[in-house]
Structure 1
Amino acid sequence: MAINLEKGQRINLEKSNGSKLQNICVGINWGAIEKKGFFGGVTKEPVDLDASCAVYDENKRNIDTVSFRKLKSNDNAIKHSGDDLTGDMNGDDGLDNEVITLDLAQLNPSANHVAFFINSFRGQDFKDIPFASIRIYEGTPTRVNEVFAKYDIANDKNFAGNVSMVLGVFYKRNGEWKFSAVGAPTKDRKLEETVVTIQQNHL
C-alpha cells in the first residue's frame, strides 16, 4: 500500500499477505500556535482540532456520527480517544493528539460509507497552525503496523483559509471495503455541516 495517497486515489484494503485490513486508526497530531509578543517574547495559543467520523447507509443517509461529543458508535465498531483542546504546547512530541479506531468486522451491516473529517473548533485557520498531520493506518492507538494515507494540512497551501477538511471515505463495494482518499478542504464551520457536505459531495 502507498503511504502518501494522491487525492481521489482508491485502494483495496488488502494487505501484502492477501488478508483483509480489519483494524484501522486515524490519528491526528498538531501543535499550538506561536505568537510573538511586543517585547520579543513568544506566547502559545492552544489549538482545538476535532477528528470525527460519520457513517452512512447505501442511500447516503447518516446513521451514526462519532466525535468528541459521542466517543463510541452505536455498534461499538468506532471509538474516539477523547477531545484534545490544546495540541502540543511544547513542540511536536510525535504522538497523535486524537485517534479514532475502526473495526470493520463490527460495523452495523447497513453501514456502506465511513467518512473521516476534521474541524478546527475555534475557527483557527489551518495555515496558522505550525504543524498538523494526519495518518490513516492499520494497528492500534499505541502500535502502527502500516500507514496507508498521510496528509500534512499545516504546510499544504491548499488548506490555507480553511477550518475543516474531509480526509477520506471507506466504502463497501460488492461486500468488500475499499478506501477513497479525499483530502479536500471545506468552508464548514461546524462538524454537523461537514456531515452534510460529505453526504452531498463525497459519497
Structure 2
Amino acid sequence: MSISLEKGQRISLEKNGSGLDRVCVGVNWGAIEKKGFFGTKKVAVDLDASIGLYTESKDLADIVYFGQLKSKDGSVVHSGDDRTGDLDGDDGLDNEIVSVELGKVPANVKSIAIVLNSYQGHDFASIPFASVRLYEGTPSRVDNIIANYNIAHEAKFNGSVSMVLGVLYRHGTAWKFRAVGEPTDDKKLESLFQSVAANFL
C-alpha cells in the first residue's frame, strides 16, 4: 500500500523490523502539448532526476546525474537520460529511475537528496503530468510502492524549473525518507545542489 507524500512527511524505510536494502526513485512525466493553426504539437521535455550524496557537515561527497550514471562507490545507479518524456500520453512507466543500495552507501554519507530539474528550462507548470515514486524493488521490478508524490498542477511550481523532491537520511542505524516537494530558484544543477545543502538538509 502506497501513500501520497505531503511536505515534511517522514517515512521509515523498514520492512518486518529490518531496514530495506534497496530502494528506487522513479520519475514519470509527459511532453508538452502546444496548440497551433495545424493542430496540436508535442514538445519534448527533458527532465533530469539527480542525486546528491552529502556528508554530516553537508559537503557534497558525490553526485549521480545524466553525466555520471553511477556513484563512485557503486551504491547509486541512474537508468540513463530521458530527453523527451511520454510523447503519447502517460504510459504509467518511469522515464528515469535511480536505484540506491542503502547497505552499500559509504558510512560518511549521511543524507541523499533527490532533485529534479528541467534541462531546457521548461516551466514545471507547463508539463501536463509529472510524478515521483519511491519503491522497493529494482529498475525493472516494482515490489512495493512506499510512497507516491505528484508534482503536477500545483501553483507553487509555476515559474520554476528546479525542485527538491526529498531526502533519504540516516537515523541511527536505519534510513528514513523525508518529503520536501519544494521548488527552488536555481537554473543549473550545480546551484541546485548548493541550495539543498543550505536549505533542505
Query: What band does the TM-score fall into relative to the shorter chain?
Result: over 0.9
* Residue equivalent to 2:28: 29
* Residue equivalent to 1:201: 199
- Which amino acid letter does the alignment assign opposite residue 14 of structure 1? E
Residues 1-203 of structure 1 correspond to what in structure 2 (within 5 A)?
Answer: 3-15=3-15, 17-39=16-38, 41-203=39-201
**Contact 2:23–2:99, Cα closer than 8 Å, also in 1:** yes
Structure number with higher strand proportion = 2
Give the CA deviation at 1:36.
0.8
CA distance in 2, matches of 1:157, 1:147: 26
**Contact 1:53–1:66, Cα closer than 8 Å, also in 2:** yes
Deviations along 1:66-90, whole A, 9 cap, x unmatched? Answer: 0001000001000000000111111
**Contact 1:128–1:154, Cα closer than 8 Å, also in 2:** no
Secondary structure of 2:197's counterpart equals helix
CA distance in 2, matches of 1:161, 1:148: 29
Query: TM-score normalized by structure 1?
Result: 0.95
Secondary structure of 2:164's counterpart equals strand
Gap runs ≥5 in structure 1: none
RMSD value over aligned CA atoms?
1.2
Structure 1 stretches of at least 4 aligned residues deviating more than 4 Å after TM superposition: none
Secondary structure of 1:72's counterpart equals coil
CA distance in 2, matches of 1:86, 1:140: 23
CA distance in 1, matches of 2:127, 2:118: 10
Deviations along 1:34-91, whole A, 9 cap, x unmatched? Answer: 111123x111111000000000011111000000010000010000000001111111
CA distance in 2, matches of 1:22, 1:159: 33
CA distance in 2, matches of 1:155, 1:166: 16
Deviations along 1:69-116, whole A, 9 cap, x unmatched? Answer: 100000100000000011111111111110000000111111111010
Gap runs ≥5 in structure 2: none
CA distance in 2, matches of 1:112, 1:62: 11
CA distance in 2, matches of 1:36, 1:12: 44
CA distance in 1, matches of 2:90, 2:174: 37
Q: How much identity, in percent, do the aligned residues show?
A: 56
Query: TM-score normalized by structure 2?
Result: 0.96
Aligned pair count reads 201
CA distance in 2, matches of 1:152, 1:5: 8
Q: Which moved more, 1:124-133 or 1:156-165?
A: 156-165
Give the CA deviation at 1:21.
1.4
Secondary structure of 1:112's counterpart equals strand
Give the CA deviation at 1:173.
2.3
Secondary structure of 2:4's counterpart equals coil
